[in-house]
Amino acid sequence: MDRKKFIQTSGLGLGLAIIPGMIKSQSGHPKRNLTVNTKSKIVKDADGDVLNVIGDIQTHKLVGSDTGNQIVEWMDNVDPGVGIPPHIHTKEDEIFRIIKGQIEIMIDGKTTVLKEGDIAFAPKGIAHSWKVVGTEKAKMITSAFPAGIEHMFKELAALSAGPPDFEKIAEICGKHGVNFV
C-alpha cells in the first residue's frame, strides 16, 4: 500500500473509531466530553491570580474555565514552616513539582523530603500533607485534575485575616470534597 492510500485508510478508520464516542459524549452520557471547547493560553511567570490561602501564597496559572474543567494549576510560593495538614480529596488527584526549596510531603503514611526537580503524585482518596522545611522559601507547582478546587481556594482566601478558624476552614473544604484526617 502506498503512503497516500495508507493515510486515507487510516484517517477513515480513526474517524470511525472516534466519532461514535464524540456523539455519545454529546448525547448527555456522563463520560468525559471529548469535544471540549478550549483555547490555547500562554502564561508567563508573573501572570496569574494571586491568592493568600491561609498562608499558602498561590498564583493560579490555569483554572477550569481555561482547560474545559480538565485541570487547574497554580504556583505555591511559601515561607518555611507553612504547610497543609493531612487531608483527603474525594474529587481530584494532585501533582506537586518542586521548583525551589524543600517540601516535606506525606502521602499514604509515607513521609519524604522533596527538593528542586522532585515530583509527587497524590491520588484522590489517599491522605496527604505537605510542609515547607529548611530555611528558604519554597516554590512549588501544584496541579489538580479535574479542575474545580480553585473555587474552594477563592473561598478560603476570602476569609478574614487573623488566626485561622479551623471549623470554618473545614466546613468550606468539606463542601468541596476535601476532608481533614
Of 6-10, 88-92, 98-102, the poorest mean pLDDT is in: 6-10
Residue spans of the domains in the chain: they are 1-35, 49-180
- Among 35-44, 123-132, 155-164, the range of highest mean pLDDT: 123-132
**How many residues does the structure list for the chain?**
181
Q: How far, CA to CA in Å, does 27 sit from each of 21, 47, 69, 121?
A: 10, 37, 19, 33
The string of pLDDT tens digits covering residues 33-43 is 444 667 899 99
Residue 76 corresponds to which cell in the numbers above?
Answer: 505555591
pLDDT of residue 60: 98
Cell numbers standing for residue 107: 502521602
**Gap between the Cα atoms of 97 and 115, Å rounded:** 9
How far apart, in Å, do the first and last CA atoms of the chain sit?
Answer: 61
116 Cβ contact list (under 8 Å, min separation 6):
98, 99, 100, 101
Lowest mean pLDDT among 10-14, 53-57, 119-123, 162-166: 10-14
Assign a CATH topology to domain 49-180: Jelly Rolls (2.60.120)
C-alpha 133 chain-centroid distance: 22
Mean pLDDT of 78-95: 97
Of residues 53, 93, 120, 51, the one with CA closest to residue 61: 51
Q: What is the mean pLDDT of residues 44-58?
A: 94
Average per-residue pLDDT for the chain = 87
> Which pTM does this prediction carry?
0.79
Q: What is the pLDDT of residue 3?
A: 56
- Range 96-112 average pLDDT: 98
- pLDDT band, very low/low/confident/very high, at 5 (cuts 50, 70, 90): low
- The pLDDT tens digits for 8-49 are 555 555 454 444 444 444 444 445 544 466 789 999 999 999
Q: How far apart are CA 81 and CA 136, in angstroms?
A: 10
